Amino acid sequence: MSVPGPHARRYAAGGLMALFGLAVVLEARTFGLGSLARVGPGLFPMIVGGALVLVGALIALTPEAGSEHEEAGRPDWRGWACIVLGILAFVVLGEHLGLGPATFACVFVSALGDRQGNPRAALLLALAMTAVAGIVFTLALKFQMPFWRGW
């Protein structure tokens, strides 16, 4: 059994993403779209589905920028572990401490999975994203999750 080449995998990944986005667009059409002044329940899924179709097409059609010497098929376990642990940290800390600490922990732990990054860069990224989350979700959107939940 032969392993598909990088081009075949890229076409398959982009095609599946575009196909999934198309399914979301078709399903969103069954809901009311509304207008920009009075948004219906299907408008946001329609936009997300359209974005998925576009990103899938870009993945499938954009030439690969990676090195020819990269090993194919070997997952980056450190990256995977950091991303999963970052999401788990968000869930646990969001429940007990609030949006701010949860966002900080999620971004910091996930950024540690980048082999080219360093802890200082992860710290700066986590601080910046925590500030953005506070401004966007707490101040602008009045998100129901408190930014800081005291003991």
Query: What one-letter code names the amino acid at 85?
Result: L
The pTM of the full predicted model, rounded to 2 decimals, is 0.59
Mean pLDDT in order along the chain per 10 residues (151 residues): 69 92 92 82 89 93 63 77 94 93 96 92 96 91 84 53
Neighbours of 93 (CB within 10 A): 19
- Residue-range domain boundaries for the chain: 6-61, 77-140
What is the DSSP code string of 19-53?
HHHHHHHHHHTTS--B-SSSB-TTHHHHHHHHHHH
| Residues sharing a CB contact under 8 Å with residue 102, sequence separation 6 or more, in sequence order | 89, 90, 91, 92, 93, 94
The confidence score (pLDDT) of residue 134 equals 92
Cα separation of 98 and 91, whole Å?
10
Pseudo-torsion of CA 60, 63, 67, 72, nearest 10°?
20
Nearest to 81 by CA among 60, 51, 105, 112: 112
For residue 80, give both structure tokens.
């995977």
The confidence score (pLDDT) of residue 63 equals 77
DSSP H stretches of helix in 4-151: 6-28, 43-61, 77-96, 99-111, 119-133
Decide: residue 18, CB within 10 A, 0-12 exposed, 13-18 middle, 19+ buried.
buried
